[in-house]
Chain A
């Protein structure tokens, strides 16, 4: 990358971790170096819950890194000195203020006199196509209009860097598309004084469509998996071979956790794979896994991830955990961005409801560490039950609080479906389930009168 341009924001070895009471560190973001240079749209991609929003908050000075430093034009950043603005996923508008008051609020905070506040706010509302809506309240507006207010509020302070946290993901497909184009138009025609835009997203196509530079984050802890420029001419065509190639390439990075890929025409910083970690189960429900395997079966057992996402009209964010879960359970394999159903997966997809449970139980007990642990403890204990706390204790060592909750929910979903245990929500206890019917013997299904 060219080094002669001074970055606006420079993150040096920023890291985020939580220290457990026993001194154990849960790492959320591994040390990351990152520059935000002027003149570029940068998109930050990553699977859900990987810490990309946390990284955004560190870069804006909203949140302090556990170690490392963020510099704003060479001096340590604070939320007071940074010339940044954020557009939020949830819009974060104040419902009790009118559109105009919402946009004026940041100027009020800066002590801008009433007349000038008014003029500047009206001008920016005009730019984003909201004139005539000044006195409306946010709840009277559609999602797209609300996010326009979010844009206006961000642009009115004339930020040097505009940060956007999943700005289009709360909108429907068409609205998101038109807003994206409007943003690009403002940017390309220099209608805003902003020098750089930094967008966090989980939508791969969106990233390729908008970005001059794409950064892909890996998970647990977050680390930069790839960082490369996108040099496609604008306006970009989603159907062009180069575009499809790039999207496919990003899918490959995101689904191959421990493989560093060489990027054609760039010097991607390939990082070392993380040290051996406690197994993390992807947040997929059994219903989703079943659906995916059935679909794969219908498509001849093998499908391209990119195509799969298209067929299912699903984001990578929703699809990837299901694929990962299927792979983890041994029902499918992943290779070069293709998913292929395995022999077990085929048996599972073709089986009836009861046999499926048996097959799932076998796969879960074979591959899923936490379920193995629970199963053996439940069998060992005389009352065949353990408290939920025990489960949390195991996971607390390895994951952040939110992640522990999600791991727990997913494990409950799998474990109950597989009839490994039952969960009593009132007592917060896991109880050994009644043994299910003999595996591989559908004829012995008991018929009770």
Chain B
């Protein structure tokens, strides 16, 4: 191949990409700033699909950038301000276990009210929800990375007088990159789940893949359903190829390893970028001079700060004021909530109790069902490398399709078969959560050392005995991790799985999720608030009482240490 054209190709692609991006921004802002459309007509034409995919993608991207900024700021403050850390980390823990979808109705209503007459409000609502769904694990990852920077590395930075900027860019950010990348991937996968739910949310139709799929299912249009799902898969595969693979391959250099590892992840996209002359030129002309400017700016500031030592009292006062303001806001909110809750009639509390019990049962049946099929299958895949090579990519694609995107489709099938939502919701929950368990079981089965398996062979441990002595204890930590994630996911999904607008009709079953959705439809905000709080409380409590303990047991007794 002639060299010049090969080198020019990536530049050409990037230039066109830039143009397309610009066009997209103009189009989107026209839509977002345009007047609010209460009933968006969702077109089912094939040509509309890429546009819808683009809208969905943009919401995800927006929410992700927001999450990244917030996560870094939150993690940074928590890691370096011991006083803030004391409440920021437990708070993170609680926020992480609250089912975000329970806020979906409330947030959407509030945001629409905040920007009356603008599409922006609903869009912001969707972005905000995705944000709250994905930000916490990223923030925690960043915090944990900062906390685990080796002491001597920090000391080197201090003794060589690194300024704030240099510390951040040369130590903290690189050190946290790998954790952030993996958590970002998880978060974005979760974001698709929330986005589909948002786009399908009853009153405010957002144009996107989610609403496209729902409209298609509403009309029983099988061709559009299949096309929609294929587009969904295509988008996810493209993101994987063009974003995650290159980023993972690039992040390889941030591994804290002392020796080079034998096999490293590669990405053809990254290779193209690395060989692009345009990128090289950009780095030389723009990035390097800018970097040099920053170096001198912060080095100068550092010298200046040395002379005026200590934290300024103004900053301290600012922190105090912020703290007091935050506390009074929280206090006010608590008082209001208590007032609302005490004004609720007893019958509604009874209803909430019944709903919680029903959903609790449903979630746990789902977990048991999920574990029952995934454990044997996962172990079979994990123990058999040939099977794993075929099954794992398939399972990954299947898992990458957000369950909420499939809800309307599954519902369509269920209604045709004549099943009610009582059983149907379990199928829906299973759809969303079984993958977490499956992947963890596979990972656990692979992690069981060969010598342990051989020892079991030598001593003739077979059948049930083999499961009891070797396999189940071996996969236990992984199984627990998978079940924790699955449990959180199932509670979350119950809000969309128990109550559904479909073909102009409402399908619902007894449960806390359907109560939340119904309360929103009826604009009964007091009930909405009470049931949301009840749901969050139950999830946090089960996490503390059950899952946390199992996890500790897994960490101490069943951990395979080398």
Report which A residues bind B (CB closer than 8 A).
57, 60, 62, 78-81, 84-86, 88-90, 92, 94-97, 105-106, 108-111, 113-114, 137, 139-140, 153, 157, 165, 425-426
Contact = CB atoms under 8 A, between A and B. Distances in A.
B256 A109 contact: no
Nearest to B288: A114
B161 A80 contact: yes
Nearest to A137: B253
7 contacts: A62-B159, A85-B159, A96-B253, A108-B166, A111-B295, A113-B296, A114-B292
A60 B166 contact: no
B150 A139 contact: no
B557 A85 contact: no
Given A96-B254, A426-B556, A106 B292 contact: no
A109 B160 contact: yes
B300 interface: yes
Interface stretch (B257-265, B335-343, B517-525): B257-265
B160 A94 contact: no
Nearest to A107: B160
Q: Label chain A's interface by main secondary structure.
A: loop
B299 interface: yes
B174 A96 contact: yes
A108 B295 contact: yes
A85 B156 CA distance: 8
B160 A85 contact: yes
B150 A86 contact: no
B290 to A, nearest CB: 13
Contacts of B306: 78, 80-81
Interface residues of B, number: 35
Interface in B268-312: 292, 295-296, 299-300, 302-303, 306, 309
Contacts of B299: 108-111
Given A62-B158, A79-B158, A110-B299, A95 B257 contact: yes
Contact of B162 (A62, A88, A109): A109
Nearest to A90: B152
Contacts of A57: 155
A94 B153 contact: yes
A226 to B, nearest CB: 28
Contacts, number: 85
Contact of A139 (B155, B160, B259, B553): B259
A84 B170 CA distance: 21
Nearest to B256: A95
Interface of B: 150, 152-153, 155-156, 158-163, 166, 170-171, 174, 253-260, 292, 295-296, 299-300, 302-303, 306, 309, 553, 556-557
Given A86-B155, A109-B161, A140-B260, 6 more contacts: A85-B160, A96-B170, A108-B299, A109-B163, A110-B161, A139-B257
B161 A90 contact: no
Nearest to B253: A96
A85 B161 CA distance: 10
Contact of B156 (A78, A86, A108, A140): A86
A46 to B, nearest CB: 19
A300 B170 CA distance: 58
Contacts of B160: 85, 105-106, 109, 153, 157
Which 3 A-B pairs give the minimum distances between C-beta atoms? Answer: A111-B299, A106-B160, A92-B152
B300 A111 contact: yes
A89 B156 CA distance: 11
Given A85-B159, A86-B155, A109-B166, A92 B255 contact: no
Nearest to B302: A109
A292 B538 CA distance: 59
Nearest to A96: B174
A426 B171 CA distance: 37
Contacts of A153: 156, 160
A395 B296 CA distance: 51
A60 B155 CA distance: 10
Contacts of B258: 139
A301 B282 CA distance: 75
A78 B159 CA distance: 10
Given A109-B299, A110-B299, A84 B556 contact: no
Contacts of A78: 306, 309
Given A105-B166, A139-B258, A94 B253 contact: no
Contacts of A109: 160-163, 166, 299, 302
Contact of B159 (A84, A94, A96, A111): A84
B251 to A, nearest CB: 10
Nearest to A138: B258
Contacts of B254: 95-96
A97 B153 CA distance: 13
Contacts of A425: 556
A88 B306 CA distance: 25
A438 B260 CA distance: 56
Contacts of B302: 109, 111
B150 A90 contact: yes
A409 B254 CA distance: 34
A153 B170 CA distance: 15
Nearest to A84: B159
A191 B285 CA distance: 38
With most chain B CB atoms within 10 A of its CB, the pick from A90, A111, A425 is A111
A88 B300 contact: no
A92 B158 contact: no
Contact of B155 (A62, A110, A426): A62
A222 to B, nearest CB: 19
A86 B158 CA distance: 10
